[in-house]
């Protein structure tokens, strides 16, 4: 295959994509779960001889779609949708065509400079103060890992990077049990250890108790631990918990600890000023992550980390061997020094296209609709005999259950086997509950309200 063939096949792929998206509503959202059904259709060994693209494309069309859970299906209400607005898909096609690797400014100034401007556009869109700068990661997990590594090194005065962790004091990171498991992963990968992630108790509103945070830090200090930082959640994955950011930051500040705020899915809602009370005080954080690939429609993957001061993270993650230097250009930003991987894709391009093609007003309208429809749906479900709303809408996420765990789990299986909508589960205060998360870029009010119809049919 050469570039002339690529041009022709790209047109075929675009037609295929159009047909795929146009018919999504007719397809079951979740893939049928028969392990091995796809892999056994693939030859066990790679081909020795080249094959025609015609055959490869035909096999793709035959084998892959039946094994897909359709993330762009308008009735996808599971997890949080990884959206892909058409304008962002177009930008991804261009980024693929360019195939630039923007590890340092010199390896494509446009990649770095568009990223700088897009991070600043988003800072303004979310109402964050002018001092914040930032970078784009693949995922919130990587951003949180970067923040935790920085907490570790700042606490150790960068001795961990130099000498390793053995012989260092035991570090402590604080978060509530409502924060995402990416925080647990970060403390493991950072060598801090799961046992040193202190799960601070939450109050009735599911916010971390600031007093309990202060108590845990003081007790740890007295016991000889080295507190290193606090991770707060603004929109937990399970049921949408929000820590009281200002109060918790005040405690962290009083103890000299940096704060990272995980707003992976809910952060996008802050483009709507009326939701900003939910993370009031966030401007006091050292680091904030949110995923435009969730509610803003930028195609996966695209996770933005804002930093009040990038210097500690650059000191933690940045290396500049001779082969990565830009001759005579000390003033430029080399984003690999802000992140774990060296290589980086041109992710900012899809932000540029998406923000311009829909405008902040268009994006706000979607988010406001999702929040409104989520409330309407929760009210409709509450009318169905036997259905109990367990946690009310936190922005566009709520949970419901039947009389007991077994009945709830069985209902969820029936819903997802039925295929008209896709929902997932969590545990809340010990009980098995069904999550409904509205956030798919193309969903309509009818799509959202169809969940009530499906539940009525299957209960």
**Residues forming the site for ligand PLP (CB under 6 A):** 79-80, 139-141, 180, 182, 235-237, 262, 264-265, 291, 303
CB of 296 to ligand PLP, least distance (A): 13
**Sequence-distant (≥ 6) Cβ neighbours of residue 115 within 8 angstroms:** 102, 135, 136, 335, 347, 348
CB of 142 to ligand PLP, least distance (A): 7
**Sequence-distant (≥ 6) Cβ neighbours of residue 140 within 8 angstroms:** 180, 182, 262, 264, 289, 290, 291, 303
Instruction: Considering the complex, state which of residue 234 and residue 452 has its C-beta at the smaller distance from ligand PLP.
Output: 234
Q: How far is CA 386 from CA 383, 389, 408, 426, 455, in A?
A: 9, 10, 10, 19, 11
Instruction: Considering the complex, state which of residue 265 and residue 279 has its C-beta at the smaller distance from ligand PLP.
Output: 265
CB of 298 to ligand PLP, least distance (A): 12
The span from the CA of 200 to the CA of 207, in Å, is: 10
Q: What is the CA radius of gyration of the chain?
A: 23
CB of 305 to ligand PLP, least distance (A): 11
CB of 67 to ligand PLP, least distance (A): 21
Q: Per-residue b/e over 422-434, b at no fewer than 16 CB within 10 Å?
A: bbebbebeeebbb
The span from the CA of 53 to the CA of 447, in Å, is: 37
Q: How far is CA 141 from CA 112, 138, 253, in A?
A: 22, 8, 24
Instruction: Considering the complex, state which of residue 239 and residue 415 has its C-beta at the smaller distance from ligand PLP.
Output: 239
- Residue 62: half-sphere exposure toward Cβ, Cα within 13 Å: 9
Instruction: Considering the complex, state which of residue 265 and residue 398 has its C-beta at the smaller distance from ligand PLP.
Output: 265
CB of 137 to ligand PLP, least distance (A): 8
Q: How far apart are the first and last CA of the chain?
A: 53
Instruction: Considering the complex, state which of residue 302 and residue 412 has its C-beta at the smaller distance from ligand PLP.
Output: 302
The owner of tokens 């000390």 is 330
Helix (H) or strand (E) holding 174: strand 171-176
CB of 183 to ligand PLP, least distance (A): 8
Nearest to 391 by CA among 424, 421, 422, 431: 431
Nearest to 397 by CA among 364, 430, 433: 433
Instruction: Considering the complex, state which of residue 118 and residue 175 has its C-beta at the smaller distance from ligand PLP.
Output: 175
Strand partners for 398: 436
CB of 301 to ligand PLP, least distance (A): 7
Q: How far is CA 263 from CA 204, 240, 299, in A?
A: 20, 10, 18
- Residue 309: half-sphere exposure toward Cβ, Cα within 13 Å: 9
> Measured in whole angstroms, how far is the alpha carbon of residue 267 from the centre of its chain?
10
CB of 382 to ligand PLP, least distance (A): 25
SS3 437: strand
SS3 101: coil
Instruction: Considering the complex, state which of residue 160 and residue 235 has its C-beta at the smaller distance from ligand PLP.
Output: 235
- Residue 280: half-sphere exposure toward Cβ, Cα within 13 Å: 6
Question: What's the CA angle centered on 383, arms 380 and 389, to 5 degrees?
Answer: 80
Strand partners for 109: none
Instruction: Considering the complex, state which of residue 138 and residue 220 has its C-beta at the smaller distance from ligand PLP.
Output: 138
CB of 80 to ligand PLP, least distance (A): 5
CB of 397 to ligand PLP, least distance (A): 10
Instruction: Considering the complex, state which of residue 140 and residue 349 has its C-beta at the smaller distance from ligand PLP.
Output: 140
Instruction: Considering the complex, state which of residue 140 and residue 156 has its C-beta at the smaller distance from ligand PLP.
Output: 140
Instruction: Considering the complex, state which of residue 30 and residue 180 has its C-beta at the smaller distance from ligand PLP.
Output: 180
CB of 338 to ligand PLP, least distance (A): 17
Instruction: Considering the complex, state which of residue 229 and residue 236 has its C-beta at the smaller distance from ligand PLP.
Output: 236
């Amino acid at each position: 295959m050469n570039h002339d063939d690529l041009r022709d096949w790209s047109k075929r792929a675009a037609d295929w994509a159009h047909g795929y998206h146009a018919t999504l509503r007719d397809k079951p959202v979740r893939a049928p779960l028969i392990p091995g059904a796809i892999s056994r259709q693939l030859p066990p060994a790679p081909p020795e001889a080249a094959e025609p693209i015609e055959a490869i494309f035909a096999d793709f069309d035959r084998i892959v779609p039946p094994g897909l859970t359709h993330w762009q299906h308008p009735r996808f209400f599971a997890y949080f949708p990884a959206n892909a607005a058409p304008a962002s898909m177009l930008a991804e096609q261009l980024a693929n065509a360019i195939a630039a690797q923007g590890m340092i400014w010199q390896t494509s100034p446009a990649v770095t400079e568009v990223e700088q401007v897009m991070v600043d556009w988003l800072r303004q869109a979310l109402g964050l103060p002018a001092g914040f700068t930032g970078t784009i990661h693949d995922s919130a997990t990587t951003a949180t890992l970067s923040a935790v590594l920085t907490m570790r090194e700042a606490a150790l005065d960068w001795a961990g990077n130099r000498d390793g962790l053995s012989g260092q004091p035991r570090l402590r990171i604080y978060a509530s049990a409502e924060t995402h498991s990416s925080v647990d992963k970060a403390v493991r990968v950072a060598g801090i250890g799961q046992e040193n992630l202190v799960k601070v108790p939450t109050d009735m509103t599911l916010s971390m108790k600031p007093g309990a945070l202060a108590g845990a830090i003081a007790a740890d200090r007295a016991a000889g631990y080295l507190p290193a930082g606090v991770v707060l959640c603004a929109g937990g994955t399970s049921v949408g918990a929000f820590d009281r950011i200002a109060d918790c930051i005040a405690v962290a500040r009083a103890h000299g600890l940096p704060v990272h705020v995980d707003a992976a899915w809910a952060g996008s809602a802050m483009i709507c000023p009326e939701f900003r009370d939910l993370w009031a005080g966030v401007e006091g954080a050292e680091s904030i992550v949110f995923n435009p690939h969730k509610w803003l429609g930028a195609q996966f993957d695209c996770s933005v980390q804002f930093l009040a001061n990038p210097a500690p993270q650059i000191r933690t993650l940045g290396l500049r061997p001779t082969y990565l230097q830009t001759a005579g250009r000390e003033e430029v930003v080399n984003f690999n020094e802000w992140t774990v991987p060296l290589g980086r894709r041109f992710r900012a391009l899809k932000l540029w296209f998406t923000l311009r093609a829909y405008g902040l007003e268009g994006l706000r309208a979607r988010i406001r609709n999702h929040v409104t429809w989520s409330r309407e749906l929760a009210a409709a479900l509450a009318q169905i005999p036997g259905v109990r709303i367990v946690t009310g809408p936190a922005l566009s996420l709520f949970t419901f259950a039947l009389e007991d765990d077994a009945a709830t789990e069985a209902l969820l299986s029936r819903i997802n086997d039925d295929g008209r909508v896709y929902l997932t589960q969590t545990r809340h205060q010990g009980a098995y509950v069904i999550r409904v998360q509205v956030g798919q870029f193309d969903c309509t009010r009818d799509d959202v309200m169809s969940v009530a119809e499906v539940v009525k049919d299957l209960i």
